[in-house]
């Protein structure tokens, strides 16, 4: 399986690297294989999708 770094994921999804790291810690990035930490660095599967959350007030999915 191919992996990308938090920096690569941040560029791909248009968010900061810190946001991607937070999503990894909170297990918000889901794919057949979860992101894993190797040598202090998160490895995110290349096919992982941009996380979404369920907005409580309007009950609709929103990209975060």
pLDDT in tens, 39-60: 888 888 888 888 765 444 444 5
- Which tops the pLDDT comparison, 63 or 22? 22
Cα 22 to the center of its chain, rounded Å: 8
Q: CB of 37 within 8 A of CB of 27? A: no
- Which tops the pLDDT comparison, 56 or 19? 19
Residue boundaries of the structural domains of the chain:
3-63
Q: CB of 48 within 8 A of CB of 29? A: yes
Domain made up of 3-63: CATH architecture: Orthogonal Bundle (1.10)
**Whether the predicted pLDDT of 11 surpasses 70:** yes
Describe the crossing of helices 17-25 and 6-13 by its angle, rounded to 10 degrees.
110
Give pLDDT, residue 55. 44
Burial 19-30 (b: 16+ CB within 10 A, else e): bbbebbeeebbe
**Whether the predicted pLDDT of 7 surpasses 70:** yes
């Amino acid at each position: 399986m191919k992996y990308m770094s938090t920096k690569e994921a941040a560029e791909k999804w248009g968010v900061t690297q810190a946001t991607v790291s937070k999503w990894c810690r909170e297990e918000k990035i889901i794919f057949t294989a979860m992101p894993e930490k190797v040598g202090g660095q998160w490895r995110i599967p290349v096919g992982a999708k941009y996380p979404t959350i369920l907005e409580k007030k309007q009950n609709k999915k929103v990209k975060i």
